[in-house]
Amino acid sequence: MNLTEEVHEILYTYDFHLKNKGFTYEFQAREEASVMADRAALTEVIINLIDNAIKYSPENRRIELTAGTDGAKGYLAVRDFGVGISRADQKHIFDKFYRVSTGNLAKASGTGLGLSLVKQLLEQQNGQISVYSDVGKGSTFTIYLPLAT
């Protein structure tokens, strides 16, 4: 499937929701990326990452999405400018039921299953997820999926 087209479709569907929450967003496709992925699972992954960006960005309501290729993988990075995640918590955020217990992250509602589900859905498709985050500056979650041959 074409990753760029899928992201455009999700953003088209989510446009009202994002704007209603006061968010601006930008999507940049560096290259077209045809990836091996299940459409329903990939949609679930992307929506979860966008929802987390909304949930954890109470002040600076901006989201940047970037797609492209990196070697034999296609990628999508979802960047927010919210509360960020400490280095200690980054080690556990993909664990089932893990919830940050202090600070602004602890105030948000949730079960601690979203990122665990995202990781599981990606691994079932030979994909991966990474996070880069600074407390007070936001987070970037990047998913990687094998390119279609």
**Cα 58 vs. chain centroid, distance in angstroms?**
17
Residues 135-144: what's their mean pLDDT? 96
Q: Where would I find the H helices in the chain?
A: 3-20, 39-55, 87-90, 103-107, 114-123
CA atoms within 13 A on the CB side of 53: 28
Query: Reduced to 3 states, what is the DSSP secondary structure of residue 79?
Result: strand
Instruction: Please give the share of the chain, as a percent, with pLDDT higher than 70.
Output: 89
- pLDDT, one tens digit per residue, over 83-122 is 999 998 988 888 876 666 544 444 555 555 789 999 999 9
Parse the chain into domains and list their residue ranges: 3-146
Q: Which CATH number fits domain 3-146: 2.30.110.10, 3.30.56.10, 3.65.10.10, 3.30.565.10?
A: 3.30.565.10
Degrees to nearest 5, angle at CA 74 with 118 and 28? 95
Average confidence score pLDDT of the chain: 90
Residues 29-56: what's their mean pLDDT? 94
Element (H, E) at 134: strand 128-134
Please state whether the predicted TM-score (pTM) of the whole model is above 0.85: yes
Contact (Cβ atoms closer than 8 angstroms) between residue 58 and residue 83: yes
Quick one: pLDDT band at residue 126, thresholds 50, 70, 90?
very high
